[in-house]
C-alpha cells in the first residue's frame, strides 16, 4: 500500500463520514474543541476541506466507506468509521483506540417474511446474498460451512429481495422499520455496530504528540460521560 505521510508542520486531517454518524459525532467533537469553519455546515458550499478553530486540524467529509480508506492510505491521519467498515476492509494500517458510542446499529441477515417462516437456517448449504459487505458476509457464512455467492450492491439492498435478484440480504439494521416496510424480517444476527475513532498507524509513530492529544481529549470526554466518570484512563499506544 502506498502511504502519504504529512509533515509535522501541516495540519492533521480528520475524515468524517456524511450522514447520521456525522450528526451524532459533531456534538462530541465540539466538546473537545473542534469547531469547523461556517462552510462546513452550509449545504450550498462545494468546499471539500474545512479549517477548524484549531489551526493544527482540518476536516474532510466523505462517504462512510471512504473515511477508512483516506485514513488507511495516510491522506487523513485520523477519522471516524463504523466497525462494519473496519471489519469489511481489515486495513492493517488503521488503529482504532476508542469506541465513540455513537452510530449504533446491527448487521443482520434478512429475508422475505413468508420465506423466513418456512426455512431453517441450519439447513443452508449455499446462499445467494445481496450486500454492501461481501467480505463480512463470506466470512460469516463460511464459518458455518455455508457457501455464499455475494452480490455487491451500494444501496437499496432491500430491492434485491423484492425484485428476485436473491432472497437473502445482509445489511445494517437500526430500528427494523425499513425491513418491515419491504416485507423482510431479520433471521440471523452477524454483529453489533458502532462508530470508532480511527488513526493511521504510521502517522501515530511520526506525530505521536499531536495525534495522542486528540485521542486523549476524546477518551476523557467519553470517560466523563460514564457513571462515576473521573480521571481518564492512561493513553494507549498502537
pLDDT band at 234 (very low <50, low <70, confident <90, very high): very low
Locate the domains of the chain by residue range: 12-103+194-225, 105-192
In 3D, which of 188, 200, 195, 197 has the Cα closest to residue 220?
A: 197
Residue 69 C-alpha cell reads as 480508506
Residue 134 C-alpha cell reads as 461481501
What is the topology classification, in CATH, of domain 12-103+194-225?
A: D-Maltodextrin-Binding Protein; domain 2 (3.40.190)
In 3-state terms, what secondary structure has residue 128?
strand
Distance CA 150, CA 171 (A): 12
Cβ neighbors of 185 (< 8 A, separation 6 or more) are 110, 111, 112, 113, 116, 179
Domains 12-103+194-225 and 105-192 belong to one CATH topology: yes
Give CA 194 to chain center in angstroms. Answer: 7
Give the residues across from 126 on adjacent strands: 147
Distance CA 200, CA 91 (A): 10
Instruction: Look at strands 168-173 and 105-112 and give their pairing.
Output: antiparallel
Residue 186 C-alpha cell reads as 431479520
DSSP 40: G
Do the Cβ atoms of 61 and 18 come closer than 8 Å? yes
In 3D, which of 99, 120, 130 has the Cα closest to residue 192?
A: 99
Percent of the chain with pLDDT over 90: 85
**pLDDT per residue as tens digits for the range 159-193:** 999 999 999 999 999 999 999 999 999 999 999 99
Highest CATH level, class, for 105-192? alpha beta
In 3D, which of 37, 12, 16 has the Cα closest to residue 28?
A: 16
What is this structure's pTM?
0.89
Residue 19 C-alpha cell reads as 450522514
pLDDT band at 146 (very low <50, low <70, confident <90, very high): very high
Please give the pLDDT value at position 233. 46
Distance CA 106, CA 1 (A): 30
| Mean pLDDT of all residues in 129-147 | 97
Amino acid at each position: 500500500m502506498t502511504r502519504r505521510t504529512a509533515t509535522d508542520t501541516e495540519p492533521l486531517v480528520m475524515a468524517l463520514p456524511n450522514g447520521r454518524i456525522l450528526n451524532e459525532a459533531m456534538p462530541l467533537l465540539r466538546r473537545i474543541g473542534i469547531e469547523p469553519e461556517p462552510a462546513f455546515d452550509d449545504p450550498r458550499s462545494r468546499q471539500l476541506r474545512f479549517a477548524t478553530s484549531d489551526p493544527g486540524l482540518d476536516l474532510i467529509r466523505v462517504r462512510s466507506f471512504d473515511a477508512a480508506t483516506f485514513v488507511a492510505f495516510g491522506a487523513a491521519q485520523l477519522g471516524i468509521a463504523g466497525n462494519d467498515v473496519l471489519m469489511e476492509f481489515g486495513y492493517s494500517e488503521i488503529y482504532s483506540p476508542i469506541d465513540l458510542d455513537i452510530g449504533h446499529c446491527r448487521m443482520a441477515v434478512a429475508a422475505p417474511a413468508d420465506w423466513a417462516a418456512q426455512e431453517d437456517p441450519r439447513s443452508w448449504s449455499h446462499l445467494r446474498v445481496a450486500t454492501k459487505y461481501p467480505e463480512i458476509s463470506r466470512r460469516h457464512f463460511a464459518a458455518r460451512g455455508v457457501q455464499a455467492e455475494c452480490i455487491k450492491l451500494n444501496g437499496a439492498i432491500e430491492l434485491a429481495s423484492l425484485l428476485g435478484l436473491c432472497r437473502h440480504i445482509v445489511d445494517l439494521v437500526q430500528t427494523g422499520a425499513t425491513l418491515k416496510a419491504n416485507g423482510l424480517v431479520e433471521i440471523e444476527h452477524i454483529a453489533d455496530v458502532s462508530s470508532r475513532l480511527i488513526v493511521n498507524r504510521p502517522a501515530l509513530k511520526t506525530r505521536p504528540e499531536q495525534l495522542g492529544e486528540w485521542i486523549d481529549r476524546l477518551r476523557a470526554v467519553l470517560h466523563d460521560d460514564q457513571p462515576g466518570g473521573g480521571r481518564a484512563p492512561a493513553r494507549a499506544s498502537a
